[in-house]
């Protein structure tokens, strides 16, 4: 019996390693010369329709999130800080919530957003899939250069250092 217990542990460990490698390769896409940002238009929390053309010529960080997603909630305060620090350099964060307006409004009452938050619902997930979110994970973030090209897609939490490594060269005009 002892050898079967050890075999089970070994198999589980090998599966965990394989899953970790697969997750790393699948969920973290590196910089790329990607497709053009597709057209999109979603309402903000006030119900005002916002069109992607409103942010043409800016470096965009489009973050797909939900209030029920703990990693989403954890990364948003850093995005608010980065928007404040780098918005004047042409950086624009856009949050696209994958849910109804009511929980988003309640969450927004807890913190002060300095970037637009749009209500994407199911259509938001469709847009995230077009940007590289092939497995439908949240949070998911796409970085778009000033010319409208998708240059980075990131599944899972996106921290300050990771964001800066991608957007700093784009803001300097090295895209």
Domain boundaries, the chain: 1-30, 31-171
Nearest to residue 50, comparing CAs of 114, 96, 103, 104?
A: 96
Cα 60 to Cα 50: distance, rounded to the nearest angstrom: 15
- pTM for the model stands at 0.80
Judge whether residue 119 has pLDDT over 90: yes
What pLDDT does 4 receive?
56
Domain range 31-171, its CATH number among 3.10.129.10, 3.40.30.10, 3.80.30.20, 3.30.470.10: 3.40.30.10
Bridge partners (DSSP) listed for residue 77: none
Nearest to residue 151, comparing CAs of 22, 41, 37, 70?
A: 37
Model confidence over 21-55: pLDDT tens digits? 334 333 344 444 678 899 999 999 999 999 999 99
What pLDDT does 34 receive?
74
What pLDDT does 127 receive?
96
CA dihedral 23, 29, 30, 34 (to 10 degrees): 160
- Burial-class residue 62 by CB neighbours within 10 Å (0-12, 13-18, 19+): buried
């Amino acid at each position: 019996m002892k050898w079967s217990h050890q075999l089970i542990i070994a198999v589980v460990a090998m599966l965990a390693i394989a899953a970790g490698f697969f997750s790393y390769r699948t969920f973290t896409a590196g910089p790329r010369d990607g497709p053009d940002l597709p057209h999109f238009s979603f309402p903000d929390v006030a119900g005002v329709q916002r069109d992607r053309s409103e942010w043409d010529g800016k470096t965009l960080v489009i973050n797909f999130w939900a209030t029920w997603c703990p990693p989403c909630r954890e990364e948003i305060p850093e995005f608010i800080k980065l928007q404040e620090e780098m918005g004047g350099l042409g950086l624009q964060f856009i949050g696209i919530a994958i849910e109804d307006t009511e929980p988003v409004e309640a969450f927004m009452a807890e913190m002060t957003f300095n970037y637009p938050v749009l209500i994407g619902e199911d259509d938001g997930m469709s847009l995230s899939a077009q940007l590289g979110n092939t497995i439908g994970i949240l949070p998911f973030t796409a970085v778009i250069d000033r010319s409208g090209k998708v240059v980075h897609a990131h599944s899972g939490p996106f921290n300050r250092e990771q964001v800066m490594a991608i957007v700093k060269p784009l803001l300097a005009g090295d895209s």
